[in-house]
């Protein structure tokens, strides 16, 4: 008897423990922000009491997209209720779709409208097209996932501000990802087209849930053979799988493909045989993939072939491809160019090459410009091309993968970087976005679409075109290498959808869906995220320094490197440190790069005494004993920046430790390990950099600075043959 009761008690305790622990069961991160973790407390009671029913009769004709929209909603609502939906009741809230057309002529906008009609509660989900309804489903789940009550869903129209919201994969057909830190490529070219990895559907769901509508599947350092018929068949399988999710496929095209796979003797864009080859290639692709998006091209950059090989301009090269695509698609031409033989400041070269071509590009060409004029560094001023090509369609290129910000170690939430560039005022006029003016805009005050903008932000320049992000996905179970890197994928999509969202709001909504809805925990997680990019910049590239990383793999410090074949590959080219001082003079006394900006913009950076110190050494060369704001010498301040970063990282580790009860153990431990690694790496950056700066300036360490544990030679000797992504 006693024994029996003991067993019952033990069982009861075990069951209670399982129930209590349920929300914190180990998670591997595969579900991304689409976990739909069960609601708790009143939010759960509210949803169960609403017993929502997704109406089956969708707008006619029912498309695969609408089936997905309905199923996502049903599945998500059930998951939020703990796995099973409350049984429908006479007073159930009905969710009714009104989804416009499936002709591809809508703008993906939607309206969620909760209302009560004669005591019957309903949520109308209206959209201009079927993809809009899919986006609406995800939006509704996103709101509920953050704890919003069903009938309190904001009654707002929502729509994508930018038409093109793309991922650029630098994935190679052999599965290796250039600058990929999350395993191998997610694209299984070997088994396509017969076999479609189910992960391709989860990938499409994740993208659609944040509004991403274009995917370039292969590296811009492209292989010509990816344009061959067998690859078109593989790509068609992906295109067919992703189409219902509103995603179009694009290919990176190698400019010399007519020679490599077409048997021609030239790839000269003005050669009729070359034009005909591309025309036939485009026709062949469209015969299989009628909504093929177009070509992304890296030409005459870092050894890639291009029109300049034949004395032709970027515009001539791009326009030839654009003619082959015709109205069916778009050529996206990258402005990331710099040359070994060009002696001008590398950050000035794209502007110098492209501004004279303004107005020469065909209507279906977009020029894709990196956020800054150098190369995805931890911090850069915005690219001066924005605003400087008013007669060209410009698109912003961001790097989601963290090539220069610790790769998949530590944490760097990149939304603040992109928010900074999007909000930067170019000081130059721009035409207004001439698409249909919105009568029910939710994105700010109405404006007259015909009135030009006198001084446009980067967001206003690129809004009529779009944004591309270099993807950070890979075969790792959690997709992105670290759990927090998922936030960068998420934030990229959200900002391309609406560039006026704040990094903080995005961090909070991501954290609530990904980790915990507890408001205080979410606030603390988002605070950690918001500070993270600045911390990385502080210990890798303080005070506006840039490009100090190791050669090849781009991991860790190597400011001493000065012997590479091309001058602008050397860190010493950028920091220019010597006994007297440090920094790159880009004023009129130096390279003159500052003059590529509008005068009002340049003025904020012109004076080393007043400049925001985050840009000091980017634009100025100053003496080691230069006094900066607050009275410290540059040398003292540099040393302090490294030390502050370490303090910040330590505080963050403690903050994360305090969140232990809110995060499942598996992901909590993984993030804690990432943070420990980052602290170690930050110390290494500091020690190696300070040892090097000291070897140059001969100054003693500032008072209070921690001694440097190893010799400069020892730091120089470290090597990382195992570093991924090279
Ligand atoms: O930052 C550099 C990377 C290269 C990359 C290049 C580019 C795809 O180190 O790996 O090549 O940018 O953007 O083309």
What are the residue boundaries of the structural domains of the chain, listed by start? 26-158, 171-434+462-501, 539-584+621-716
Q: What pLDDT is attached to residue 11?
A: 53
- The pLDDT tens digits of the residues spanning 557-603 come to 999 999 999 999 999 999 999 999 999 999 999 999 999 999 999 99
CATH code 3.30.379.10 for 26-158:
yes
Distance between CA atoms of residues 561 and 103, nearest Å: 56
Which atom of ligand 1 is nearest to 178's Cα?
Answer: 10
Instruction: Give me 57's structure tokens.
Output: 């009769």
Q: What pLDDT is attached to residue 342?
A: 75
Distance between CA atoms of residues 97 and 105, nearest Å: 18
Q: What pLDDT is attached to residue 435?
A: 59
- The pLDDT tens digits of the residues spanning 383-406 come to 999 999 999 999 999 999 999 999
Residue where the block lists tokens 């209507």: 363
Compute the average pLDDT of residues 81-86: 94
Does pLDDT of 721 surpass 60?
A: yes
Q: What pLDDT is attached to residue 21?
A: 44
Q: Is the CB of 376 under 6 A from ligand 1?
A: yes
Question: What single DSSP character describes residue 709?
Answer: -
Compute the average pLDDT of residues 432-458: 63
Residue where the block lists tokens 């029913």: 53
Does pLDDT of 450 surpass 70?
A: no
Does pLDDT of 453 surpass 90?
A: no
106, 123 contact by CB (below 8 A): no
Compute the average pLDDT of residues 191-207: 98
Distance between CA atoms of residues 105 and 561, nearest Å: 53
Adjacent-strand bridge partners of 158: 110
Q: What pLDDT is attached to residue 58?
A: 61
Q: Is the CB of 667 under 6 A from ligand 1?
A: no
Does pLDDT of 152 surpass 70?
A: yes
Does pLDDT of 4 surpass 80?
A: no
For domain 539-584+621-716, which architecture applies? Alpha-Beta Complex (3.90)
Compute the average pLDDT of residues 4-24: 50
Beta strand pairing status for 330-334 and 365-370?
parallel
The secondary element (H helix, E strand) that includes residue 253 is none
Distance 430 CA to ligand 1 centre (A): 29
Q: What pLDDT is attached to residue 725?
A: 75
- The pLDDT tens digits of the residues spanning 309-360 come to 999 999 999 999 999 999 999 999 999 999 877 789 999 999 999 999 999 9
Distance between CA atoms of residues 68 and 6, nearest Å: 50
Bigger pLDDT: 95 vs 13:
95
Pocket test for ligand 1, best of 221, 339, 723 (most atoms within 8 A of CB): 221
Q: What pLDDT is attached to residue 13?
A: 46
Q: Is 477 exposed, middle or buried (0-12, 13-18, 19+ CB in 10 A)?
A: exposed
pLDDT band at 431; cut points 50, 70, 90: confident
Q: What are phi and psi of 423, to 5 degrees?
A: -85, -10
Runs of H (alpha helix) within 263-341: 272-288, 314-325
Cis? peptide before 193, omega within 30° of 0: yes
Bigger pLDDT: 3 vs 493:
493
CA angle 346/534/34 to nearest 5° reads 105
Cis? peptide before 61, omega within 30° of 0: yes
- The pLDDT tens digits of the residues spanning 57-72 come to 565 668 999 999 999 9
Mapping DSSP to helix (H, G, I), strand (E, B) and coil, where does residue 294 land?
strand
332, 325 contact by CB (below 8 A): no
Q: What pLDDT is attached to residue 7?
A: 56
Q: Tell the CATH topology of 171-434+462-501.
A: TIM Barrel (3.20.20)
601, 610 contact by CB (below 8 A): no
Distance between CA atoms of residues 162 and 380, nearest Å: 23
Distance between CA atoms of residues 51 and 161, nearest Å: 34
Q: What pLDDT is attached to residue 536?
A: 98
- The pLDDT tens digits of the residues spanning 533-549 come to 999 999 999 999 999 99
Compute the average pLDDT of residues 416-444: 75
Catalytic positions are: 302, 375, 403
Instruction: Give me 345's structure tokens.
Output: 């400041």
Distance 336 CA to ligand 1 centre (A): 9
Compute the average pLDDT of residues 704-714: 98
């Amino acid at each position: 008897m006693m024994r029996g009761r003991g067993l019952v008690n033990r069982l009861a305790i075990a069951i209670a423990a399982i129930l209590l622990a349920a929300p914190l069961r180990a998670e591997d991160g595969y579900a991304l922000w689409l976990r739909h973790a069960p609601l708790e407390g009143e939010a759960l009671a509210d949803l169960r009491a609403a017993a929502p029913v997704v109406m089956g009769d969708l707008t006619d004709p029912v498309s695969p997209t609408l089936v997905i929209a309905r199923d996502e909603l049903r599945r998500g609502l059930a998951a939020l209720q703990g796995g099973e939906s409350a049984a429908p009741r006479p007073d159930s809230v009905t969710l009714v779709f009104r989804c416009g057309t499936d002709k591809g002529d809508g703008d993906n906008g939607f309206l969620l409208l909760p209302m009560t009609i004669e005591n019957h509660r309903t949520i109308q989900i209206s959209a201009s097209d079927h993809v809009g309804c899919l986006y609406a489903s995800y939006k509704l789940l996103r709101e509920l996932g953050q704890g919003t009550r069903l009938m309190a869903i904001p009654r707002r129209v929502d729509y994508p501000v930018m038409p093109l919201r793309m991922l650029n994969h630098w994935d190679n057909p052999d599965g290796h990802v250039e600058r990929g830190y999350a395993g191998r490529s997610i694209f299984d070219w070997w088994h396509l087209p017969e076999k479609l990895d189910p992960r391709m559907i989860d990938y499409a769901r994740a993208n659609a849930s944040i509004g991403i509508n274009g995917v370039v599947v292969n590296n811009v350092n492209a292989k010509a053979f990816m344009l061959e018929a067998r690859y078109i068949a593989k790509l068609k399988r992906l295109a067919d799988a992703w189409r219902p999710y509103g995603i179009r496929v694009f290919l990176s095209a190698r400019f010399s493909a007519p020679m490599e796979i077409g048997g021609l003797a030239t790839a000269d864009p003005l050669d009729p045989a070359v034009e005909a080859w591309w025309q036939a290639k485009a026709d062949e692709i469209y015969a299989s993939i009628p909504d093929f998006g177009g070509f992304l091209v890296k030409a005459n950059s870092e050894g890639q072939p291009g029109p300049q090989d034949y004395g032709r301009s970027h515009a001539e090269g791009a326009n030839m491809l654009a003619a082959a695509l015709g109205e069916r698609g778009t050529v996206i031409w990258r402005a990331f160019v710099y040359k070994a033989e060009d002696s001008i400041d590398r950050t000035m070269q794209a502007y110098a090459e492209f501004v004279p071509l303004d107005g020469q590009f065909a209507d279906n060409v977009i020029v894709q410009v990196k956020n800054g004029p150098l190369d995805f560094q931890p911090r850069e001023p915005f690219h001066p091309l924005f605003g400087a090509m008013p007669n060209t369609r410009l698109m912003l290129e961001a790097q989601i993968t963290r090539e220069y910000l610790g790769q998949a170690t530590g944490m760097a939430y990149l939304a603040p970087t992109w928010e900074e560039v999007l909000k930067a005022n170019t000081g130059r006029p721009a035409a207004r976005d001439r698409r249909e003016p919105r009568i029910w805009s939710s994105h700010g005050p109405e404006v007259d679409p015909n009135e030009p903008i006198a001084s446009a932000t980067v967001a206003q320049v690129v809004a009529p075109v779009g944004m591309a992000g270099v993807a950070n996905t890979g075969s790792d179970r959690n997709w992105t290498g670290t759990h927090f890197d998922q936030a960068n994928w998420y934030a990229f999509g959200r900002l391309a959808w609406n560039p006026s969202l704040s990094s903080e709001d995005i961090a909070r909504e991501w954290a609530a869906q990904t980790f915990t809805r507890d408001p205080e925990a979410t606030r603390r997680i988002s605070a950690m995220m918001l500070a993270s990019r600045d911390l990385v910049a502080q210990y890798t590239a303080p005070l506006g320094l840039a490009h100090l990383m190791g050669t090849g793999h781009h991991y860790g410090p190597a400011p001493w490197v000065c012997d590479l074949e091309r001058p602008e590959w050397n860190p010493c080219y950028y920091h220019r440190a010597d006994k007297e001082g440090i920094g790159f003079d880009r004023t009129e006394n130096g390279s003159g790069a500052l003059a590529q900006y509008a005068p009002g913009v340049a003025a904020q950076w012109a004076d080393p005494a007043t400049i925001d110190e985050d840009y000091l050494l980017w634009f100025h060369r100053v003496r080691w004993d230069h006094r900066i704001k607050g009275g410290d010498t540059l040398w003292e301040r540099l040393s302090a920046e490294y030390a502050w970063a370490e303090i910040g990282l330590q505080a963050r580790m403690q903050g994360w430790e305090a969140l232990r009860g809110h995060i499942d153990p598996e992901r909590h431990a993984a993030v804690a390990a990432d943070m420990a690694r980052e602290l170690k790496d930050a110390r290494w950056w500091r020690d190696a950099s300070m040892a090097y700066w000291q070897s140059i300036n001969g100054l003693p360490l500032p008072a209070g600075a921690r001694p440097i544990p190893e010799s400069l030679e020892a730091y120089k000797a470290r090597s990382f043959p195992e570093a991924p992504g090279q």
